Amino acid sequence: MKTLKIKKFLFVLILGLVQLPGHADEMFLSGRCEAPFPESMLDLREYIENKGYTISRVQRVDIGLKERGYKTGLYRVIFFGKNSEIQYIRKNHPGLIPYIPLSITVFENGEYTHISAVNPNTLQTLYDSEKIKSLLAAWSLDVLSIFKDYNEC
Q: Does domain 26-151 have CATH number 3.40.50.300?
A: no
Cα separation, 7 vs 125, in Å, equals 11
Q: How does pLDDT run across 105-120, given as a tens digit for each residue?
A: 999 988 899 999 999 9
Question: Strands, E, within the chain: which ranges?
Answer: 28-33, 54-60, 75-81, 102-109, 112-118
Q: How does pLDDT run across 66-99, given as a tens digit for each residue?
A: 788 887 778 999 999 999 999 999 999 999 999 9
